[in-house]
Structures are given as C-alpha cells and as structure tokens.
Amino acid sequence: MHERRAAGTSISALAREFDLDRKTVRACLRQAAWAPYRREKEVASVLDAHRAWLVERAPQVNYSARILYQELCGQRGFTGSYETVKLAVRPLRVEACLAGLTQRRFETGPGEQAQVDWGQITVRFGDQRTKVHVFVMTLGYSRRGYAEGFLHERMVDLLAAHERAFAHFGGRCEFLLYDRMRTVVLGTVTGADGERRPQLNTTFAAFADHWGFTPRLCQPYRAQTKGKVESGVKYVKRNFVPGRAFADLDDFNQQLVRWQAEIADLRIHGTTHQRPIERFADEGSALVPTAGQASFLQAIVRSRVVADDWLVSIDGNRYSVPFGLIGQTVEVVRAGGNWLIRHRGRLVAEHPVLAGRAQLSVCPEHGPGAAMRNARQRHAGPASTRGGDGLRPVPDDLAVEVRDLAIYDRLFQTAAVHDRPEVA
C-alpha cells in the first residue's frame, strides 16, 4: 500500500483495489509496518469465574449454548445473559470443528472391539422393489465382517443378528461400538454427580449383560468414529448387490453368505493390506467363546396381558390362549421354533413362531365355543356321524339353535307396543 501510494495512486483507488474503507487505508498508511488489531484493555466478564468449567463442559453437551446457560444459572449462580454464553461458546465450537477435520485412525487389538451398524438398500425380489435392512458387524482388528439382510430394524432383528454373528465368528469381542440407534440407546440421563450419561434400552442392556460385552457409543454427529463398519456397509452395497437377482429375502441371505466366504473374506483389505480371513487367524483365538451359552432370545421371559379377544401380542403377531385367562398376565418364552405360553408356571398354549408381522395364530380349543361344545358333549348321547339327509353334519362350533319363527313375531309385537307414546 505504501509503494502504490508513493507511485501516485489515490486513496480512493487504493480503497477500491483492496476492498477497504478509505479511513482504513489512511490508518494503514500512517503505520510503518502492519500490526494486527489488539484490544488496548481486556474487559472483565461475568463469565471469567466459570471459564474453566465451560471449556470442560461444552464438549459433553455438544457445545449447546442453551444447555450451558441453563446449567450455569441453575447450578453455578451465573447472573449474566444468554448472549454472553453464546459468544463464549462460539470459538470453542469452531475449534472443535477444525480439530474434527484432521482424523487419526484408531486401531484395536485382536478381540478388543467390533463395530455394528445398519445399511439400507432397495433390491428387487422378483418384480417387486423391496427395501432390505442389512446388519453388518465388523471386527476391528481383522476387518472380517458378518452381514445379514432383514425387512426391519426391530429389536428382535438386532438381537438375532448379534447372536448369529457371534456364532459366525465363534465368539464375541470385549467391546461393541454403536451409533445412537433407538434400539440401543433411548437418550441421556443426569446422574447424581450432575453428569449426563447415555440411557441404554433396557432390553438391549439385558442382552449385553447376558452375553457379557460392553456397549460403547459414538459421539453425537461423529459417525466416522465407527468408520470400519461404515466401510463394511458400503462394501456390501457396492460389491455384493450390483448385478444380482433375488427371489426373496432367504435367497438374498443365501447369496450373501456365499459372497462373504468367497469374496469378502478373501479380498486384500485396503487398510491392512491383508486378507481378513488371514488376520482372523490371530483374532479368532482372542474372542470370548459363545458356543456353549444359551440364546438370549430363547431364554428371555416376556410378560403379556391377555386381551379381551383372548390373544397376546408377541413381536407384532398375535397368538391365542384359553379365553378364561382374559385380563390375566401370562409369561412367554421361545423354545426353538415355538412360543410357550405359561400362566402361574402351567403351560396353557403353544404356537409356532409366525414370520413377518400382523399374523394371527388361533387354536379353536381356546375359544368360548370350545367350552360350550365340551359341555354339550359331556351331557349328550353319542352323536351320529352323518345326518339323515346324507349331508355332512354341521361342525359344533358353527352350529346354531333352530327356533320357531313365531318367537320372533311375538318379540316384534312386544317391542312395538312399548314404543307407543300412550303406553309410555
């Protein structure tokens, strides 16, 4: 600027050239050398006494100025404004974002950690387009993965996929890493020390205790924390699905099993530069064995209240129980491919597990018609096997009492009399 001014350039021309105000140009020309702006005197802030706490607490609440302001006022006697807190948090958030641009790959030892995630992809089952939810578990050390397709991401699907992944690997890792899916974590709770901690879904927490692993969660909005399984999901979408035709979900999973054994396990991994199945030779022995442990889905006991239609709901389907148990609480447990329903320790119903949702399994002997039919059979003589007209007899549960039509005429006449105004 000094050189251009010495060459005869005007103040206005310099202002246009450097996109500055003319007063700023004059101020620069009065300086012998450039110096950054510096406040002459630091102004004390009401937030200074809480500065160290703010720096430590801000990352824990995802740099929410509103939450920090509420906690400062409620817990630390802060008397300043929300705007003061917002301005103080802004540079902390910017610094965290800049730190997130540079990432360091986090490696784990054999058997230490696995990462879990879902991916969605639309495929054709015959002529119908269907969204398939692909469960993927990737071992952190070997990068060996397990994948399976489902029609939903319900709790029962998540837990079943875990157990089949454990069986596939022959064991499980010490830690399993998840994002904040609702089937794993419900939200956060404030502990006695004022710290906010994740609140695990109670069913999933019981599942983790049953198998003995420790769930870990990614930081909010930091999906790259579980980059190994994110890469695994992309690999399934880009390498397995294109160019394939599927008859149904079973065919999808059968092809997926073969692809994992013949392609995914044998490829040269881009990060480790080794085949996952070869690195798994070191990791397999470090996994906690799971072969001798009972299935959580088989062992879990579920309580259900019998509805007025003498049905209980299990995993989106409904199953009948004896109608006398309406309003009572029954216990449901899975044994192989059947649901066993007990009341006060006594087995009252058994049904095959229905696939899908909104299905119905009803045993005729559970309904009130069965009780009346049994009573008639106890007090009646032996029934003939065929009617006198040669037609097949009507089943008991469909039979109705035959009445003389004169009975209905008398009922109609009585109702008509009572409806007259003079009678009322």
What pLDDT, on the 0 to 100 scale, is given for residue 384? Answer: 45
Is 126 in the same domain as 272?
yes
pLDDT tens-digit series, residues 351-373: 998 887 789 999 988 988 655 55
Q: Is the dihedral of CA 393, 398, 401, 407 positive or negative?
A: negative
DSSP designation for 246 = B
- DSSP for 22-81 reads HHHHHHHHH-SS------SSPPP-TTGGGHHHHHHHGGGGTT-HHHHHHHHHHHS---S-
- Which domain does 380 fall in, by range? 301-397
Helix (H) or strand (E) holding 149: strand 145-150
Is 77 in the same domain as 170?
no
Any bridge partners for residue 114, and if so which? Answer: 139, 176
Number of domains in the chain: 3
Is 424 inside any structural domain?
no
pLDDT, average across residues 117-134: 93
| CATH code of the domain covering residue 169 | 3.30.420.10
| DSSP SS3 for 305 | strand
The pLDDT > 90 percentage for the chain reads 49
Is 117 in the same domain as 97?
no
- In a 10 Å sphere around its CB, with 0-12 CB exposed, 13-18 middle and 19+ buried, how is residue 207 labelled? buried
Is 154 in the same domain as 261?
yes
Question: pTM here?
Answer: 0.57
Which residue matches tokens 């959580």?
Answer: 296
Q: Using alpha carbons only, what angle is made at residue 325 by residues 320 and 331, rounded to the nearest 5 degrees? A: 70
5-14, 295-304, 368-377: which range is least confident on average? 368-377
pLDDT tens-digit series, residues 217-232: 886 655 555 667 788 8
pLDDT tens-digit series, residues 159-187: 999 999 999 999 999 999 998 888 999 88
Q: Looking at the predicted structure, is the pLDDT value of residue 80 above 50? A: yes
